[in-house]
């Protein structure tokens, strides 16, 4: 049986928007939610939610558990992996320019739940260089990209993320309390970039900056050994990072 749908002023289809609203609510609820929670969060009628969930379950984007809670389905993994590859491909040219200009490894990462996910990397040509596997997830509180992303959020949102994930000390320089981290985030917002100074790995320093107006919180960074990545390096790196972040933002938001 066909379904009548209503288009919105922006040209979207209301049923599609409502389906995505349900996915967003389930994700924000930790990956699972009851029907009543979905109704309360979206304001949709129960018959509408039932109809949308049947479609999402049939397509593999949602599963219903035995306890009748709805959880995100495996179909989203395939979409996420494809989106991550495309995002990495889009950024790689700009990261390569940073490596050419600065000589150190450049990364891009996105917020993934309560962690940061590395989506792209272009390595330095130095024999001693930083390497992070694309697809690796890391804590937010002790990485340059993670702190640059947290600084885009409110203090309450940042606190909730790091409290939920925990704040293990990778090194003696790592922040281990939300209060100390929030002080650093305030400084990051003022100066416009984050520094990981031996916080994730002793002997490694990283300068990172958020990508403005990205669809999901995103940041880029350059990192290397402290012997090369010093204050003078930072003075050169910050304006180049800003230019790269703005270029990536432009590409991400380009209208076909």
Domains and CATH numbers, the chain: 14-73 (1.10.10.10), 78-252 (3.30.450.40)
DSSP 64-122: E-TTS-EEE-THHHHHHHHHHHHHHHHHHHHHHHHHHHH-SEEEEEEEETTEEEEEEEE
pTM of the predicted model, to two decimals? 0.73
What pLDDT does 2 receive?
35
Q: What is the pLDDT of residues 103-129, one digit of tens each?
A: 999 999 999 889 998 989 999 888 777
Q: What is the pLDDT of residues 221-246, one digit of tens each?
A: 999 999 999 999 999 999 999 999 99
Using only the alpha carbons of the chain, give its radius of gyration.
20
Q: What is the pLDDT of residues 25-39, one digit of tens each?
A: 888 777 788 999 999
Q: What is the mean pLDDT of residues 72-82?
A: 77
- Backbone phi, then psi, for 157, in 5-degree steps? -65, -40
Question: Under a CB-based contact definition with an 8 Å cutoff, are residues 224 and 104 in contact?
Answer: yes
């Amino acid at each position: 049986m066909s379904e009548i749908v209503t288009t919105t002023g922006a040209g979207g289809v209301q049923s599609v928007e409502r389906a995505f609203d349900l996915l967003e609510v389930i994700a924000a609820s930790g990956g699972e939610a009851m029907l009543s929670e979905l109704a309360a969060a979206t304001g949709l009628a129960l018959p509408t939610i039932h109809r949308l969930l049947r479609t999402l379950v049939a397509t593999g984007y949602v599963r219903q558990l035995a306890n009748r809670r709805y959880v995100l389905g495996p179909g989203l993994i395939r979409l996420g992996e494809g989106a991550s590859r495309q995002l990495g491909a889009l950024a790689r040219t700009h990261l390569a320019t940073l490596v050419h200009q600065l000589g150190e490894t450049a990364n891009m990462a996105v917020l993934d739940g309560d962690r940061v996910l590395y989506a792209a990397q272009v390595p330095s040509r130095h024999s001693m260089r930083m390497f992070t596997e694309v697809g690796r997830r890391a804590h937010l509180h002790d990485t340059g990209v993670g702190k640059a992303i947290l600084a885009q959020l409110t203090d309450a949102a940042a606190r909730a993320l790091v409290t939920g994930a925990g704040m293990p000390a990778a090194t003696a320089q790592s922040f281990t309390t939300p209060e100390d981290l929030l002080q650093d985030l305030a400084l990051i917002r003022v100066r416009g970039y984050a520094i990981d100074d031996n916080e994730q790995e002793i002997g490694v320093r990283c300068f990172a900056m958020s990508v403005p107006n990205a669809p999901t919180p995103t940041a880029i960074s350059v990192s290397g050994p402290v012997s090369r990545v010093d204050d003078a390096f930072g003075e050169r790196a910050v304006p180049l990072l800003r230019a790269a972040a703005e270029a990536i933002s432009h590409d991400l938001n380009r209208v076909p």
